[in-house]
Amino acid sequence: MNEVKKTKYWNPYIGGVMLGLVLLSANFISGRGLGASGALKSVVVTTVNTVAPDHAENTAFYKDYNETHKNPMKSWLVFQVFGVLVGGFLSGTFAKRLKFKVEHSPKISSKRRLIFALIGGAFFGFGSQLGRGCTSGSALSGMAVLSLGGFITMACIFGTAFGLAYFFRKNWI
């Protein structure tokens, strides 16, 4: 009989402690918390500066950003996100989990799963700009310094997810 090979993941409590140590180290070493949306903003600004320099010079957002950030790609957030991507790739490689496949419930197709992921990512990106940061920056880093805003952000993130889970659960279970 075929044996089903069970994927082994880290214990989530150990993962949480490790994330806390990384956050503590970031605050101690750089004086700043973690975040990812700022890196995407740096990439977008650099792309617009390269592809449409006239647009970047004549748009208030890009003009202000370029005045305060001489080289957006030298932001520590860009290097942090690059490290996360490389680390995820290496982790998947060493654990033999690096495969080009879409994981989803048998109840939906790969196409539908990718569409939902794209829509969710777009909403999350838009929300991170409205909220002036992603969950890492707003919630985790905010809570690490005991910011009331960080706790409110985390409560809103998990509260919204809990409230919407009922309507979308059939796509995953």
What percent of the chain is predicted at pLDDT more than 90? 20
| C-alpha–C-alpha distance, residues 129 and 127, integer Å | 5
Residue spans of the domains in the chain: they are 1-100, 103-173
- 34-69 pLDDT, tens per residue? 878 788 888 989 999 999 999 999 999 899 989 988
Instruction: Write down the pLDDT at residue 45.
Output: 92
**pLDDT tens, position by position, 67-109:** 988 888 988 888 888 998 999 899 888 888 888 888 777 778 8
**Phi, psi (deg, nearest 5) at residue 136:** -65, -50
CA pair distance 114, 117, nearest whole angstrom: 5
Given a cut of 60, whether residue 1 has pLDDT beyond it is no
Secondary structure letter of residue 132 according to DSSP = T
Fill in the amino acid letter for 71.
N
